[in-house]
Structure 1
Amino acid sequence: MSSPGAPVRVALLGCGTVGSQVARILVEQAADLRARVGRPLDLVGIATRTVRERPGVDPALLTTDAAALVARPDVDLVVELMGGIHPTLELLTDALAAGKSVVTANKALLAQHGGELFEAAERAGVDIYYEAAVAGAIPIIRPLRESLVGDAVTAVTGIVNGTTNYILDQMHTTGAEYADALADAQALGYAEADPTADVEGHDAAAKAAILASLAFHTRVHLDDVDCEGIAEVGAADIEAAEQIGCVVKLLARCTLSADGTIAVGVHPTLVPATHPLAGVRGAFNAVFVESINAGQLMFMGPGAGGSPTASAVLGDVVTAARNRVRGVAGPGESAYSTPGITDPGRVRSRHHLALVVRDEPGVLARVAAAMAHSGVSIQEVRQVPLPGDGAHARLSITTHVASTADLGAVVAELEASDDVSGRIRVLRVEGE
C-alpha cells in the first residue's frame, strides 16, 4: 500500500509503438488519471534498447538498464511492453517478488510462463493485469476473468490476429492472391517484414491459450494449441467458401468437448455469412463467447495499433494503481480445474473437402462409400466440370460434424484411390 497521498510510481519497459503512446497518455492525461486513481501516476523511468530522442518523451526518463529500473525501491508498478521471453520473464518475476504490481501485453510470455508469473504475484500479494495481451483494445480478458466468473463458459471463438484477417478480407473483397494481400498488409504496416508469427498462426495460438485458460479455469500452455496458419489458403479456397455462402477466417477456437476435456486450436475456417464473425472486416478483431446463462456475447474492435492497445494498457494501469492505493490485490489466477486437452484427432467439426475426381459414372458413389466407411456423413455436395478438361470434375463436399481422425482416414483413402487426382484440400467449417 502506498503512503497516504504519495504518487503511484510507474516504470515502463519498452517504448515502441505502444509504449510511446502509454508514456504520452500518462503525461498528457495526468490530471484525469490522478482523479481516477486518487493519487498521481508518476512515470519515473523508461527502459529502451537504445537511448534516442522520442517525440513527446522526456529523454531524462530513458535508460538501457531495465534490471536497475525494475529494482528501484521507489517503483510501485511495472508496465511491460518490450515483448519476448528472456529477459522479460526474469524482469517481471523480480518485480513481482519485490512487491511491485505488473501490467503486461506479452501474450507469448503469458502463454508459456503465465503460471509462474501468477504464482509469483500470489506469493507477493500483488496484481498482474494483461488486458492488452489479447485483441488489442477489445475488453475480453476482464469479462472472462471477472464479469463471467459466475457463469459457465462453453466456447470462445475469435478472430484475434488483425494481420491475417486483413489478408483474408482482401482476398475475398478484391480477389487478391495471398502473396499480393500479404504485401499490401506489409505496406500498410499491418504485417511485419517477417510475418511468420502472424500467418503461421503462432500469435493467435498464444492468445487462444490465454483465452482457454480464463474461460475454463485451467492452465493451457502454448504447446497445447493445435495450430495451422493461412499460408496455404488460395483463391480456390476463397471461391469454394463463397460458393457455399461462407468466408474464410483464421479462428482461434476454445471449446468444451463432450468428454469434459478442452479443445484449443487455431485454423483457417469457413464461417457462414450469417455468423457474427463473418462480417469482421479489415484488421479488426472480434471474440465470440458462449456461456450457459449469459448466452452468446461478442466483443469487437481494433486488434492492434499504438493508441488502441495503449487504451487497454492504461485501463490496467489505473486498476492496478487503485488497488495499490487501497492496499488490496485484484482477482488472481483461477486455475482450479484440470480437465485436460482434447486429443487433436478427437476434435469434432464440420469440414469442407475440395478434390478433383474422374468425371464418370460411379465415382461419386465410391466417394460417398469411402466417407460412410469412416463414419463421415455428407451434408452437401457440388460437382462441376474442370475447365478445359473433359475427363475430370471438381468436387466440393461439406460434411456433418465428424472427428478430425475420421476425416483424416477418409482423405487418406480417397487420395490413394484412382478416382481422385492430386491432393485433397480440407478446411474446417464453423457451426453445427
Structure 2
Amino acid sequence: MTDALKIGIAGLGTVGAALFRAISTRHNSLAEICGREIIITAVSARDRTRDRGLDLDSVAWFDDPAAMAREADIDVFVELIGGDGDPAHAAVLAALGRGRHVVTANKAMLAKHGVELARLAESNGVLLNFEAAVAGGIPVIKAMRESLTGNSIQRIYGILNGTCNYILTRMQRDNMGFAECLSEAQRLGYAEADPAFDIEGNDTAHKLAILTSLAFGTEIASDEVYVEGITNISIDDIHAADELGYRIKLLGVAQRTASGIEQRVHPTMVPKGSMIAQVEGVTNAVTIEADILGELMLSGPGAGGDATASAVLGDVADIAKSRPGHQHAPALGRPATQLEPYRRARMQSHEGGYFISLKVEDRAGVFASIATRMAENAISLESIVQRARPGRAAVPQTVILVTHATMESNVRAAVDAIKAEGYLAGEPQVIRIERTRES
C-alpha cells in the first residue's frame, strides 16, 4: 500500500471535530477505498485546554496554524478557521508555498483571495480543494469543475444559505413573522448571535462569486454582486406571494449575457410548482443550466458539522487517491492564469418581471396615478390588485402590481415617482419574480 497521507487540521470547532472523528472511526474503510491510509499528524486551535472529546495524544499541537503549515509533518493542510484574512489566509499561503495540498471550507477567503491562491497552488503543483465552501455537503464544486467539462453554462442559481431558507420556510408554513422566525433559528443554532452576514445576503454573495468563476471561467468578483437580504420581507409579502402562486426564496443568481456576467442575490418569487420552491428548512439547492446537459439541480444539507465535514473528507480522499504524475483539475476549473477578467453585464430587462406592493391612502385617483407612473416608465403590468379592508376606509390599503419583463431602473424610477405623489403609507416592497424552465 502507498505511504499514508498525513494531514493537519487547523481549527477544531464543530466542523474540525467532526472531521477528526470521521477520519478516526473510518480509518480502515478509507484506507481500502483510497488505497492508502489517511492519518492526522497535527492540529492547531486557539485553546489546547478545551475538552473536545477527541484523543489528541498522538498528534502534534500547534498554537499557530501558519507554523503548522510550514513545520508539521503533513501532506495536506486542512483550513477550518474561517475569515477572509489572517490567520487563515497566512496559513494557507504558507502551506501552498511549502508545496502542501490545501483543503478549505472558507468561502470568505476564497471570495477575496481565491484567484491568488489558485495561482500559487498551480505553480507549486498542489491541489486547492474547497467543496465544503459552497452549499455544505452538496458536491456542486466537483460537478462543475469536472463532471460538466465540455458544457457551456448559461445560468446558475440556487438557495445557498440555510439560515435564510429556514426563516422564509417558517414564515410561509407557520404564519410567523420575520423576527420570531429569526429568534427561533438562533435558538436552534441555525443562526448566529449576530445573524447579519447571513440575513443581509453576504454569505450567499461569497458563495455565488465562487460558483460564477467556475461556471463562466472568470476571475472571482465578489464585489460585483448585487446584494439584498431578507430583513424587509414581511408576513404580508409571504401571503401575497402565496395568493399569486409563488414562494419567496433568497436566491443567488449568475448568468451569462451578451454584454458580460450578471451576479445578484435577493429575495425572489419562484412558482410554487418549481423544484426550487419545494426546498425547505436549512436545505440548500443549486440549479445549473447548460447547453448539453440541460438543467441539473443538486439539493441537500447546506450546513452543519457533519455535512461540511463530509465535503472536506471527500476532498481529502480525492487527494489520497491521486498518484504522482497525475494531472489535477485546476482549482477554478481552468488554469488560474487563463481566467478572464470579470466583465459586468449591462442592465437588461428582468425576464420574470417584478412584484410591487404599495400601502396607499384610500382616496380617489390613487389607482389611476399608479397606472400612469408605470406607463410613463414603459412598464407593462400583468396585473394590478387592491386588497381592500371592507368598512375601514381610513386604513391604508394595499395595492399589488405584477409587471411583465422590464428594466430594474424603470421600476425604481416608477416607484420613486409614486413615492413623490404623497399617498403612500410606508415603504414600497419590490421583489423580483424568477422564471424557471419548469414554469
Q: Same fold (TM over 0.5)?
A: yes
SS at match of 2:119: helix
The within-5 A match list for 1:97-176 is 97-176=97-176
Aligned residue in 2 for 1:55: 53
| Residues 193 and 151 of structure 1: CA distance in aligned 2, closer, same or farther (over 3 Å) | same
User: How far has the Cα of 1:326 moved from its partner?
Assistant: 3.1
Aligned residue in 1 for 2:371: 368
The within-5 A match list for 1:373-384 is 373-384=376-387
Cα distance in 2 for residues equivalent to 1:355 and 1:263: 28
User: How far has the Cα of 1:143 moved from its partner?
Assistant: 1.0
Cα distance in 2 for residues equivalent to 1:82 and 1:188: 22
Q: Deviations over 1:357-384 (max 9, x none)?
A: 3545543333222212212111122112
The within-5 A match list for 1:24-423 is 24-51=21-48, 52-61=50-59, 62-72=61-71, 74-84=73-83, 85-257=85-257, 259-323=258-322, 325-332=323-330, 333=332, 334=334, 335-338=338-341, 340-343=343-346, 349-359=352-362, 362-386=365-389, 389-390=392-393, 392-423=396-427
Moved more, 49-58 or 328-337: 328-337
Q: Is the contact between residue 263 and residue 347 of structure 1 (CA under 8 Å) also seen in structure 2?
A: no
* Amino acid of the structure 1 residue aligned with 2:297: M
User: How far has the Cα of 1:27 moved from its partner?
Assistant: 1.1
User: How far has the Cα of 1:338 moved from its partner?
Assistant: 3.5
Alignment size in residue pairs: 427
SS at match of 2:109: helix
| Residues 343 and 108 of structure 1: CA distance in aligned 2, closer, same or farther (over 3 Å) | farther
Q: Is the contact between residue 351 and residue 434 of structure 2 (CA under 8 Å) also seen in structure 1?
A: no
2:20 is the counterpart of 1:17: no
SS at match of 2:99: coil
Cα distance in 2 for residues equivalent to 1:329 and 1:127: 10
Cα distance in 2 for residues equivalent to 1:358 and 1:17: 52
User: How far has the Cα of 1:274 moved from its partner?
Assistant: 1.5
User: How far has the Cα of 1:352 moved from its partner?
Assistant: 0.5
Q: Is the contact between residue 349 and residue 403 of structure 1 (CA under 8 Å) also seen in structure 2?
A: no
Q: Is the contact between residue 77 and residue 321 of structure 1 (CA under 8 Å) also seen in structure 2?
A: no
SS at match of 1:43: strand
User: How far has the Cα of 1:349 moved from its partner?
Assistant: 4.8
Cα distance in 2 for residues equivalent to 1:203 and 1:387: 43
Cα distance in 2 for residues equivalent to 1:345 and 1:90: 40
SS at match of 2:89: helix
TM-score by length of 2: 0.93
| Residues 138 and 252 of structure 1: CA distance in aligned 2, closer, same or farther (over 3 Å) | same
User: How far has the Cα of 1:101 moved from its partner?
Assistant: 0.6
* Amino acid of the structure 2 residue aligned with 1:243: E
* Amino acid of the structure 2 residue aligned with 1:228: E
Q: Deviations over 1:8-37 (max 9, x none)?
A: 110111111111111111111111111222
Q: Percent identity?
A: 38
Q: Deviations over 1:254-282 (max 9, x none)?
A: 1122x331111110111110111101011
* Amino acid of the structure 1 residue aligned with 2:251: L
Q: Deviations over 1:292-323 (max 9, x none)?
A: 12111100001111111111111100112222
| Residues 368 and 297 of structure 1: CA distance in aligned 2, closer, same or farther (over 3 Å) | same
Cα distance in 1 for residues equivalent to 2:141 and 2:308: 13
Aligned residue in 2 for 1:425: 429
User: How far has the Cα of 1:45 moved from its partner?
Assistant: 0.7
Q: What are structure 2's unaligned runs of at least 5 residues? A: none
Moved more, 419-428 or 45-54: 419-428
SS at match of 1:102: strand
* Amino acid of the structure 1 residue aligned with 2:142: R
Cα distance in 1 for residues equivalent to 2:55 and 2:226: 42
Moved more, 4-13 or 52-61: 52-61
User: How far has the Cα of 1:343 moved from its partner?
Assistant: 4.8
* Amino acid of the structure 1 residue aligned with 2:147: S
SS at match of 1:138: coil
Q: Is the contact between residue 53 and residue 59 of structure 1 (CA under 8 Å) also seen in structure 2?
A: no
TM-score by length of 1: 0.94
User: How far has the Cα of 1:421 moved from its partner?
Assistant: 3.8
| Residues 119 and 86 of structure 1: CA distance in aligned 2, closer, same or farther (over 3 Å) | same
| Residues 43 and 386 of structure 1: CA distance in aligned 2, closer, same or farther (over 3 Å) | same
| Residues 397 and 191 of structure 1: CA distance in aligned 2, closer, same or farther (over 3 Å) | same
Moved more, 295-304 or 326-335: 326-335
Q: Is the contact between residue 221 and residue 342 of structure 2 (CA under 8 Å) also seen in structure 1?
A: no
* Amino acid of the structure 2 residue aligned with 1:268: P
Q: Is the contact between residue 351 and residue 404 of structure 2 (CA under 8 Å) also seen in structure 1?
A: no
Moved more, 386-395 or 143-152: 386-395
Cα distance in 1 for residues equivalent to 2:181 and 2:19: 31
| Residues 388 and 262 of structure 1: CA distance in aligned 2, closer, same or farther (over 3 Å) | farther
Q: What are structure 1's unaligned runs of at least 5 residues? A: none
User: How far has the Cα of 1:342 moved from its partner?
Assistant: 2.4
Q: Deviations over 1:108-166 (max 9, x none)?
A: 00011101100100110111011100110011111111111211111111101001100
Moved more, 139-148 or 343-352: 343-352
